[in-house]
Amino acid sequence: MQQLQWSTLLLTWSISLGSAHAITFQVPGSSGNNAATLDLSPVSFGFPFATLTGYFDGMPLASKCLDTFRSVSGVWPRIRVGGTSEDYGTFDPTLKVPNIVTGTAPTGQSQTTYGPQLVQVLANYKGTIVWGLNRGFNNLTNTIEAAKVVVKTLPTLYALELGNEPDGIILQFMVFAALNATIANGVDWNFQTEAESESKWQAAVGQALGRDNIVQASSYYQTPARGWGAANYFKFADPTADRYIKVYSHHNYPQTAVGTSNGEDPPNVQALMSHVNITKNVGLYVDDVKAAATRGFDYVFGETNSVSGNGKPGQGDTFATGMWVLDYVLRAASIGIKRAYFHQGTPGKSYYVWFNATGIQSPIYGGYFAAEAFAGASKIAALDDGTTNQAGYVLFSKTGKAQKVILVNSDYYDGSGIRSSTNFILNGLTGGNVQAQRLTAKTSLSRQASGDAPSFSGQSFSDTTCNLVGKKVVESVAVKGGSANFTLAASEALLILL
């Protein structure tokens, strides 16, 4: 009894705290120096090298969902083909099928021999493509042979990648060890030897193709703070190879399912979606983006998702992971990261995918909301400093006018007890009222796969067409004296059209 009263008291106290909690943002009327310029398609997709045919055409939803993103952005989403298996792919120009499995890599992915038909799979895709090539096994001749076919086959080729995560993370290390006998001893493969070697490869491939601006460089997994980033890459790479680089890429997974020896956090969906943690995680790249820019290159997250190692069962398919996608890609864009290729892992074995053979998964809602937010906008700025779980972003039009505001309440709600909420006050608005579209779900743990579909603007994705279905709901909120008040429950976001 005593205990019951005490917990009731605690509950009341936390509820009143929750509702007393208000966040105020001043919305700038026009973009200042802090706003970052947006790519046309910041929400991009990655597909694994060895199992590309598992998506195209093995999974009809993949093409349908890409088309859904096209319908919002006006451009086909950018695609990257790569991952661990790219360094276990040997090219055979005479092979008459896309690829054949020849073994299993120590990391569990397939070791394959592939032919021109694997590249053909995306020959008609209209969005830009980054194609990953094997560097790990140190057969430059084979990689150049493949590069020539890729360039010839893909009219929308954006760049080639020379090796996936060549920074020696545990098992990948064994692959890159093949590059040099000294490296095989495990002593000499560091960011200096990697950059020297990589720039040689860039020059060799670029010259063989007769093409400049053709490589997506680096693709490291370990963080810049551990030495693996643009700062060291450009310090040690041969500057005469810069002409062959198109863009600088880094991979990013805030959490991991396969051991945290590279400094990632263990899987925990509440910690994942927290705006405080997202700000810290994206913040690891702020200086590195500047280092690449100093050398004249854009920065992208060339492979990213929530939990490395194909995700965490029971976490990757939740709405909370969708909330992470949304806040993460907005935050990344606001520090100048041009795009994030959200990796769709091994079909049937991956837990962070946005769609699979069964249907739509909850993370896609965050990606879709972000694509809607980015559509037609040309700059973005964060409104908050990342010290609370409540986030705000402002998007500016081509003429620099504030066009949309995004509010995110990344507090967690597991479905038990009363759901907290936060009032957000926006100042600096003009006009009589604004329209708002809400992203919500029953709880942070809602899974479309379990029949608890999240909703955006009242609509949810069809598991067969990947189109939003249901009655569209747009909220109208009054602006008084330049101010408006919005209430967001824990794990909700609002897209406000100014």
Q: How far is the CB of 146 from ligand NAG (least distance, A)?
A: 8
Joined together, the tokens standing for residue 476 give 């109208």
Cβ-based neighbour number of residue 262 at 10 Å: 17
| Interacting residues toward ligand NAG by CB under 6 A | 139, 141-142, 145, 180, 182, 188, 193, 265, 268, 270-271, 274, 276-277, 317, 348, 351, 356-358, 361, 423, 425, 449, 485, 487
Q: How far is the CB of 105 from ligand NAG (least distance, A)?
A: 16
In the bound state with ligand NAG, the residue whose beta carbon lies nearer, of 213 and 487, is 487
The Cα 394–Cα 482 span in angstroms is 16
Estimate to the nearest angstrom the gap between the alpha carbon of 481 and the chain centroid: 38
User: In the structure, how many helices (H) and strands (E) does the chain have?
Assistant: 13, 26
In the bound state with ligand NAG, the residue whose beta carbon lies nearer, of 246 and 447, is 447
Q: How far is the CB of 33 from ligand NAG (least distance, A)?
A: 30
Q: How far is the CB of 145 from ligand NAG (least distance, A)?
A: 5
In the bound state with ligand NAG, the residue whose beta carbon lies nearer, of 240 and 294, is 240
In the bound state with ligand NAG, the residue whose beta carbon lies nearer, of 364 and 380, is 364
Q: How far is the CB of 195 from ligand NAG (least distance, A)?
A: 11
Do the beta carbons of residue 497 and residue 415 sit within 8 Å?
Answer: no
The Cα 458–Cα 129 span in angstroms is 33
In the bound state with ligand NAG, the residue whose beta carbon lies nearer, of 19 and 467, is 19
Helix 364-374 / helix 60-73 crossing angle, nearest 10 deg: 30
Fill in the amino acid letter for 200.
Answer: K
Q: How far is the CB of 371 from ligand NAG (least distance, A)?
A: 21
Q: Is 229 left (phi over 0), alpha (psi -120 to 50) or beta?
A: beta
Q: How far is the CB of 115 from ligand NAG (least distance, A)?
A: 12
Q: Cα–Cα distances in Å, from 173 out to 123, 180, 240? A: 32, 12, 27
**3 state SS of 486:** strand
The Cα 179–Cα 72 span in angstroms is 44
**3 state SS of 292:** helix
Q: How far is the CB of 209 from ligand NAG (least distance, A)?
A: 16
Q: How far is the CB of 109 from ligand NAG (least distance, A)?
A: 17
The Cα 465–Cα 15 span in angstroms is 41
Q: Is 451 left (phi over 0), alpha (psi -120 to 50) or beta?
A: left
In the bound state with ligand NAG, the residue whose beta carbon lies nearer, of 296 and 357, is 357
In the bound state with ligand NAG, the residue whose beta carbon lies nearer, of 210 and 481, is 481
Do the beta carbons of residue 41 and residue 333 sit within 8 Å?
Answer: no
In the bound state with ligand NAG, the residue whose beta carbon lies nearer, of 426 and 468, is 426
Half-sphere exposure at residue 429, Cβ-oriented, CA atoms within 13 angstroms: 26
In the bound state with ligand NAG, the residue whose beta carbon lies nearer, of 74 and 314, is 314
